[in-house]
Chains A and B, each alone.
Chain A
Amino acid sequence: MKLDMKSEMILEEYHEKLPLFERMKTLVLNLLRDCLDENHILVSGLEARVKTEQSLTGKLELKGYKYHSLEDITDIVGARIITFYSDEVDIISALAEKLFEIDWDNSVDKRKMLEIDRFGYLSLHYVCRIPEALCKDPEMPQLNQFRFELQMRSTLQHVWANMYHDIGYKSDVEIPLEYQRNMTRLAGMLEMADEQFSRIRKEINGYRRTVQSMVANGNFDEVPLNGDTFRGFLKLRPFKNLADKIAAINQGEVYEDNLMPYYNVLLHMNMKTIGDIVRMCNENAESAYQLALLQLAGTGLDIVTYSVALQNLCFVTILKKGYGESELVRMFNLLYGENDYHHQRAKRICEQARKINLI
């Protein structure tokens, strides 16, 4: 289809202004990225594009009568933020309202637009302008002249939009009736899944806050052992005294490493609560130190990891319970994967334990 003269002029101006649009795109992306970072918001996606000539031509062919100049087209530059959860779209939109000038007459919350007999799972679209104060570029004073479109949607809203686009219909009324019912069901399912994800996240965050305060308050017997509670417990540095004491055997230092790999070992040792770990530490710290003393004294090894404290505590606890070499091997398998060497190491630890009358 041939474009009319007005549309041709718009297309010509588009070509002239392409460097400006590219600069706008970069600036918008940077502003959004900085804003998300400052507010500690993780998103699933942040992207921007300048409309291609092909896409603009298509738009002008279809709706050229609506536009008098290039400035009337508000999506030459488009940015998109994809959140993990649907309730984060409102947070992002509030930030966008602070960051940019919003053209409210042309912005639409498509999430609220659906009529009862229509389907879809849509996003929030703002038409924005970069505030003058944020675009002081003497070489491109027009950065503030053109508007751009900002889409904000959840990951599942994004999935819907992509799949819908792939199916190839521009609007729901074009879809044959026999398929509309299934599409509606699918949209409803995605919306429900989005709500459920948000709800589960809120509940998990509430749970984490509760157990973290229980850990912080020292109610260890009431705190079930799981990944969250163990992580929170480790923040209290529960093995620091033992690690320092072990390092002091050779006037050495402690290298801080991650103790989370021991979580599975503790579960395997049938620890049910954080209180069980505290008891293990209280009852066995001295034996764990004696074992380290036997291993390290006279070696001159003056650096140990923080985890060596928990490692020796586990050895001592396992051996005191009478589980022996095989259980030590199981512990090593959990920590490092299977290896023939583990039998040799377990045997050596048992010999050392006998020397200090642990078993």
Chain B
Amino acid sequence: MNVTINKQDEKTLVTLDGRIDSTNADQFQQDIAPLMEGDAPDIDIDCTNMTYTSSQGLRVFLLLQKSVMARNGKMVMRNMIPRVKEVFDITGFSNIITIV
């Protein structure tokens, strides 16, 4: 999993590339740790090249979402491939994370 973080003035653009599973979820959490603090909490995550997420990945997204909301920000995930979107749908995560 490659994580690219591009901080802009008012929001942060994140690009995910690859799969998130038990082998790299901890690393993924460390990679995005800088996004869990700061005054510009809005995050836009491009998932075009994210090929899969396990429940460990879902938990990291949940942590990030909580951190963003605690700072009155908004997190949006976009361009998910159907296979990844299905994971969010069948676990109910589509109900708590904004996916466009």
Instruction: Please determine whether A304 and B94 come into contact, CB atoms closer than 8 angstroms.
Output: no
Q: Is B31 an interface residue (CB 8 A)?
A: no
Instruction: Report yes or no: B92 in contact with A307, Cβ–Cβ below 8 A.
Output: yes
Q: Establish whether residues A305 and B82, one from each chain, have CB atoms under 8 Å apart when the complex forms.
A: no
Is the Cβ of B85 less than 8 Å from the Cβ of A301? no
Please name all residues of chain A whose beta carbon is closer than 8 Å to the beta carbon of B100 when the two chains form the complex.
Answer: 339
Alpha-carbon distance between A250 and B54 when the two chains are bound, in angstroms: 12
Which of B82, B86, B91, B95 interacts with A303 by CB under 8 Å?
A: B91
- For A348, the chain B residues whose CB sits under 8 A away are 86
CA distance A296 to B82 in the complex (A): 16
Residue of A252, A257, A336, A344 near B55 (CB, 8 A) is A252
Query: Within the assembled complex, what's the spacing in Å between the Cα atoms of A224 and B94?
Result: 29
The interface bits of chain B over 69-100 (1 if a CB of A lies within 8 angstroms of the residue's CB, else 0) are 00000000000001001110111111110111
Query: A261's contact among B55, B59, B91, B95, by CB below 8 Å, is which?
Result: B95
* A255: interface (CB < 8 Å): yes
Contacts of B93 in A (CB 8 A): 305
| Residues on B with beta carbons closer than 8 Å to the beta carbon of A261 | 95
A-facing mask of B46-73, CB < 8 A → 1, else 0? 0000000011001100100000000000
A335 at the interface (CB under 8 A from B): yes
The CA-CA distance from A250 to B55 in the complex, in Å, is: 11
Q: List 8 interface pairs A-B (beta carbons < 8 Å), by A numbering.
A: A250-B55, A255-B96, A302-B55, A303-B59, A305-B92, A339-B100, A345-B85, A345-B89
- List of B residues within 8 angstroms of A252 by Cβ: 55
Inter-chain CA distance A48–B37, complex, in Å, is 33
Contact among A250, A301, A302, A345 for B87, CB-based, below 8 A: A301
Name B58's closest neighbour in chain A (CB-CB): A303
- CA of A308 to CA of B89 in the docked complex: distance in angstroms? 9
Task: Show the binding face of B for A, using Cβ within 8 Å.
Answer: 54-55, 58-59, 62, 82, 85-87, 89-96, 98-100
Q: With contacts A300-B54, A301-B87, A345-B89 known, is A257 near B96, CB below 8 A? A: yes
Smallest CB separation, B73 vs chain A (Å): 18
Chain B contacts for A257, CB-based, 8 A:
92, 95-96
A311: CB under 8 A from chain B? yes
Roughly how many angstroms separate A295 CA and B92 CA in the complex, as a whole number? 12
Besides A257-B96, A261-B95, A304-B92, 18 new A-B residue pairs in contact (Cβ under 8 A), listed by A number: A257-B92, A299-B90, A300-B54, A301-B58, A301-B87, A303-B55, A303-B59, A304-B91, A307-B95, A308-B90, A308-B92, A311-B92, A335-B95, A336-B98, A339-B100, A341-B85, A345-B85, A348-B86
- A interface residues, tally (CB under 8 Å): 26
Question: Distance (Å) between the CB of B9 and the closest chain A CB?
Answer: 26
Query: Which residues in chain A, 61-82, are within 8 Å of chain B measured between CB atoms?
Result: none
Q: Do residues A301 and B95 form an inter-chain contact, with CB atoms below 8 A?
A: no
Q: Which residue of B lies closest to A348 (CB)?
A: B86
Could you give, for residues 346-358 of chain A, a 1 whenever the CB lies within 8 Å of some chain B CB and a 0 otherwise?
0010000000000
From B85, B90, B95, B98, give the contact of A292 (CB < 8 A): B90
Q: How far apart are the CA atoms of A130 and B95 in the complex, in Å?
A: 51
Q: A301–B94 contact, CB under 8 A?
A: no
Bound-state CA distance A285–B7 (Å) is 46
Q: Which residue of B lies closest to A306 (CB)?
A: B92
Compute how far the CA of A13 lies from the CA of B90 in the bound complex, rounded to whole angstroms. 72
**Quick one: which of A305, A335, A341, A345 contacts B91, CB cutoff 8 A?**
A305
- Which residues does chain A contribute within 8 Å of B94, judged by CB atoms? 336
Contacting residues, chain A, for B62 (C-beta < 8 A): 255, 303
Provide the bound-state CA to CA distance between A261 and B90, in Å. Answer: 17
Contacts of A301 in B (CB 8 A): 54-55, 58, 87, 90-91
Return chain B residues, CB-CB under 8 Å to A303.
55, 58-59, 62, 91
